């Protein structure tokens, strides 16, 4: 099975779409790194206040909710 994406590189909007398609893996890596940083802070940072802990934890949940709603996973 093959999938071919075609972009008109003379069209500015299509060039942006091409860049987004080609760099999708970078976006995934950035979101994964943010998720891992939040996880590390919640798990290992003993200096977090209870409020910070809740915010970090709920932010991580929200990232995963948004990804799930978009049909994406980390």
Q: What is the dihedral of CA 33, 50, 47, 34, to 10 degrees?
A: 10
Distance CA 69, CA 24 (A): 17
CB 17 within 8 A of CB 7: yes
Domain total in the chain: 1
Higher pLDDT, 74 or 33: 33
72 pLDDT above the threshold of 90: yes
* Domain containing residue 39: 27-74
Encode pLDDT of 13-57 as tens digits. 889 999 999 999 999 999 999 999 999 999 999 999 999 999 999
Q: Computed from CA positions of residues 14, 16, 17, 22, in that sequence, does the dihedral angle turn out positive or negative?
A: positive
11 pLDDT above the threshold of 90: no
In a domain, 38, yes or no: yes
In a domain, 33, yes or no: yes
Distance CA 37, CA 27 (A): 15
**H or E element in which residue 56 lies:** helix 50-69
In a domain, 50, yes or no: yes
């Amino acid at each position: 099975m093959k999938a071919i994406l075609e972009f008109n590189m003379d069209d500015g909007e299509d060039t942006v779409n091409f860049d987004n398609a080609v760099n999708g893996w970078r976006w995934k890596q950035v979101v994964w790194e943010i998720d891992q940083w939040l996880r590390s802070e919640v798990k290992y940072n003993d200096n977090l206040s209870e409020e910070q802990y809740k915010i970090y934890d709920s932010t991580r949940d929200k990232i995963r909710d948004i990804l799930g709603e978009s049909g994406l996973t980390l």
